Structures are given as C-alpha cells and as structure tokens.
Structure 1
Amino acid sequence: MKTASIIMILGSLLLLGLFKFPLWNIMLGAPQYPDPLGMNIYIDGIKGVEEFDLQNIDGINHYIGMKTIPKPEEMWEFSVFPKVILGMSVLGVIIGLLGFFGKVSYKFFLGWFVLMAVLGLLGMYDFNNWLISYGSDLDPNAIIKVTNPDGSPMSYKPPLFGFQKLLNFDVTSLPHIGGYLMFVGMLLTLIASWLGRKASLKTSTA
C-alpha cells in the first residue's frame, strides 16, 4: 500500500504543472502566414505562441465579426480553474499520505480519480461551449460575411480536438504540456488505486 500511496502523491503533484505549462494549444496556418499563428490556453488565461499572435488573430477575426480573444478577467473560468486544480492536487497528496500511514483504503485513490475525471469532462464541455460561442456569435455588421450553401451564417468554431479546415485556414487543436502532465497524473492515480487494491487483497488473504 505504501508504494501505491507514493504513486498517488506523485500523480497528484503532476497537476501543479498546469500552473506553468499550457493546458491546450490551437494553431492556425494559411498561405499568407508561412509561420502559423497560435494561442496557448492556460488555466488562468490565453497567451500567444509568439508575441503578436493574439493581436494578429484578433485582427483576422475582426473581418468576419468574431469577438476578440478574452482576457483573464472576462471569463470566470480563469479564476476558478486554478483553485480547482490546486484543491485537487492538495486533496490527492493528503489522501496519498493517509494511505501511506494506513488511515484510508485504495478506494479513496479511485474516488479521487473519478472526481478528477468528472471535473475534467465538465471543463472540456465548458471549453467546447466557449468555442461554439466564439465561432458562432458573429457581428452582423462584419466586413466579410460567409454563409453555408443553405444561406445560414457559417460557423468558425475551432475544433475541440484535432484538425479542421476553416476557410483558407488549417486549424489544429491539441493538448499541450500541461494537459499531458494532467493526463499522466490521473493515470498514475488510477495505477495507484489498482496497486492499492492488489495490496489490500494480499493482506486479506494472508
């Protein structure tokens, strides 16, 4: 159980990487931009991959009526997400320490993983809703208006995950370092619960 507890602590601590590294990355490439434009989504805000990327993306979006990329104070998520990640990391470490000293069973490890998975899915759902709003709520007085074949306004929603063609832009949306650290951390806590269960079964049959 002690090995499982140490892995649980390490997995929980990996979440803290989200305070340094981006969670997600969106890149936009087009013939007129030999160097693609990109934005990194952190848990507390959005930054350009290069210095002027956000400014250039906002400039392009202005022509089709998209809103400017939000600042941290314009989205409640950027104040709530850091608290959630910190809270889950601290909770995971506490559970790991309690497991190390035999105060809780492996079921608490699994419970932490389930809770984190639910919070992660809710975060992805919220992020996707923001992308829908960002790409669909367009200014009717925009300089350029592009419609679908049926005459309805075209949506410029970037993909939540993967690749998509938006007009002449190739848009790619993938996890970044912070996202991978979070996934590895969660995987470690799942492994910890499995090892803890194994240790518990050995103890009960001894």
Structure 2
Amino acid sequence: MKKAGIIMIIGSLLLLGLFKFPLWNIMLGAPQYPDPLGMDIYIEGIQGVEEFDIQNIDGLNHYIGMKTIPKVEDMWEFSVFPKVIGLMVALGVIIGILGFFRKVSYKWFLGWFIVMSILGILGMYDFNLWLTDYGTDLDPKAIMKLLNPDGSPMTYKPPLLGYQKMLNFDVDSWPGVGAYMIFVGMLLTVVAFFVGKKESQNIEA
C-alpha cells in the first residue's frame, strides 16, 4: 500500500496549515467603514485582518454591551486545539507510514477520517456556542439598548456560516484558508482508503 500510505501522509500533513493560516474569517462592513473591519480566527488566537480592526470592533461592541474580543488566555480552546491538531497530524503520519510498509490495514485510514470528522463537528459546535454567548450575553449597562419589534432585547450573534444583516452592518462569516486545507487533507485520507483497498485487492489476487 505504498501509494495509499503516501497519500495518507500528505493528507495528514496538510493540517499543519492551521498553524499558519486562519481557520475562519468574519468581516463587518458598513457605510461608515468603506474598508470593512475583520477578524481572522486561528487555532491559537484571534487577529484583526488589518492592524486596528480588533480595537475598532471592540469599540463598536462597547456601545451595545458586547464583550471584547477574547485574548488567548481567555479561551481554553486556544491552548487545547493546537495540541489536538498536532496529535492528529502525528497519528495520521504514523498510520500512513505503517500503511506504506503494510503493517496496518487500509481501514485505519478511514478510522482516522472518522475521528477527525467527529473532532471537526465538535469544534464547530463549540465555535457556535462561543458566537451565541458573544452576541447574546450583553452588558445591561450598555450605552445603547436596542429592542426587537416584540420588545425583547436585540442580540448580535454573528452567523456561523454565510451572510447576515445586523443593524447597518453587513456581516460575512466564511471558512479561512486553514479550513480549506483541513477539507483537502481529510479528502485525501478518504482517497488513501480507496487506493489502499484497491492495492490490497490486487495483492490478494
């Protein structure tokens, strides 16, 4: 299963892109901001797309009672996620090497994919929880207290995926380069599974 093992190794290594490229991106545009404000979400922290974007977003959020953008030390995810990704990369490479020398079945490739899929779903669920808390847990002493037509307090949860209009802001939330690298890497591990299956059948024949 040499070819399958190599594909598995390459697919696993693509996850290392998360240490360089953002996992997610959220942009806020409005008439008073010709150049939209944005933040890139990495597995190790949050950065502004431009130098002062985080500062400006926090300034806007202050008026409506939203929390400031969390720093690395404010969220356990920023210390745990890099370790999880590092572990999955190492595990995938080891499985790929063992597959290359026919020490493990091609089914291990699919097993890695399933585990990574579960971790990805849990990560998205956690991210959505953070967005919900970020947009709904508002300071009651905020300068601006806006209400919905039914009289309930307005919330400002950014969309998990896609576009949403919030007040006069156009908010876009989309995967970053790191997320696409995960997708391609995981796709390659599925390819490795089928290639490995075919190679094993050819050997048995």
Aligned to 1:76: 76
Aligned to 1:92: 92
Amino acid at match of 2:81: F
Aligned to 1:162: 162
TM-score by length of 1: 0.98
The alignment yields a C-alpha RMSD, in angstroms, of 0.7
1:11-160 map, 5 Å: 11-160=11-160
What are the superposed Cα offsets for residues 82-114 of structure 1, whole Å, 9 maximum, x if unpaired? 000000000000000000000001110000000
Aligned residues: 205
Q: CA deviation at 1:132?
A: 0.1
Q: CA deviation at 1:42?
A: 0.3
What's the secondary structure of 2:191's corresponding residue?
helix
What are the superposed Cα offsets for residues 135-166 of structure 1, whole Å, 9 maximum, x if unpaired? 00000111111111111111100000110001
Q: CA deviation at 1:52?
A: 0.2
Amino acid at match of 1:126: D
Amino acid at match of 1:110: L
* Separation of aligned partners in 1, 2:137 and 2:61: 12
What are the superposed Cα offsets for residues 35-54 of structure 1, whole Å, 9 maximum, x if unpaired? 00000000000000000000
Q: CA deviation at 1:203?
A: 2.6
What's the secondary structure of 2:59's corresponding residue?
helix
* Separation of aligned partners in 1, 2:63 and 2:119: 36
Aligned to 1:203: 203
Question: Can you give the 5+ residue segments of structure 1 that lack an aligned partner in the other structure?
Answer: none
Amino acid at match of 2:142: A
* Separation of aligned partners in 1, 2:156 and 2:80: 27
* Separation of aligned partners in 1, 2:66 and 2:172: 18
What's the secondary structure of 1:25's corresponding residue?
strand
Q: CA deviation at 1:202?
A: 2.5
* Separation of aligned partners in 2, 1:198 and 1:141: 64
Amino acid at match of 2:113: F
